[in-house]
Amino acid sequence: MNLHGVYAIYRFEMARALRTLWQSLVTPVITTSLYFVVFGGALGSQIKQVDGIAYGSFIVPGLIMMSLLTQSISNASIGIYFPKFTGTIFELLSAPISAMEMVLGFVGAAATKSVILGLIILGTAACFVSVPIHHPLAMIAFLLLTSLAFSLFGFIIGVWANGFEQLNFVPALLITPLSFLGGAFYSINMLREPWRTVSLFNPVVYLVSGFRWAFFDKGDVDVLVSLAATAGFLVLCLAVIAWIFRTGYRLKN
């Protein structure tokens, strides 16, 4: 494996995050803090507990997961889109580095930034509410798997996009609505039928539920189902990326 090439891409992407520190780190943290003030303060005064958990604490895993999804997709999609936009993608494709190594560099950097952001948001949340972690290893596993899976998904979007409008299309019109409807601010057990059953078709429900189980030992669906859904999505993204590099879809033309 060309570790030097992987590290060069990884280092470049991490350096880009430092150059845009306000957008990459400060803005998501401020936004999350506002969620705590608005939802934790306004709704928390009306909804004292959900499943025996104080509402302010209950929304923490959902807020972290929302930031994780959007930032993973954004970091990875922009990372691969700009080489396409500037034409330097051809230099990468002709360099002595394999497709796997290229993906490892871009996706690894995007996932690293998302994990760091998630941990910072967790620390920010701890300043507002009590956040117990019953299963720390499970929390880390969901944090890593989700960051990797959605960074891979973002890489796919970056390859697919032909413009900045398309680059923002999926996160704005698909991921954000699914996140809000995925139980980030409520338990799907609070919904009446048939809406509870309909919610089970939302993949974000499984991510939020599994992540919340790691904190409070309680989730809307079985944790093994959540873990399997996350791992399955990761494998699906890997298969799509393998097809992209095998066919050269929107990379070589």
Segment 155-211, tens digit of pLDDT? 999 999 888 888 888 777 888 888 888 888 888 988 888 888 888 899 999 999 999
Tell whether 99 is covered by a domain: yes
Tell whether 65 is covered by a domain: yes
Q: In terms of residues, how long is the chain?
A: 253
Higher pLDDT among residues 130 and 149, named by residue:
149
Please give the backbone phi and psi of residue 120, each rounded to the nearest 5 degrees, phi first.
-65, -40
Distance CA 73, CA 213 (A): 24
How high is the pLDDT of residue 217?
93
How high is the pLDDT of residue 10?
93
* Average pLDDT in the chain: 87
Tell whether 71 is covered by a domain: yes
Tell whether 236 is covered by a domain: yes
Tell whether 193 is covered by a domain: yes
pLDDT band at residue 40, thresholds of 50, 70 and 90?
low
Please say if the pLDDT value at position 46 is more than 80: no
Tell whether 229 is covered by a domain: yes
Tell whether 84 is covered by a domain: yes
Q: Per-residue pLDDT averaged across 81-110, rounded?
A: 88
State yes or no: cis peptide before 96, omega within 30 of 0: no
Q: What's the structural domain count of the chain?
A: 1
Amino acid letter, residue 222: D
Q: Which domain does 97 fall in, by range? A: 3-247
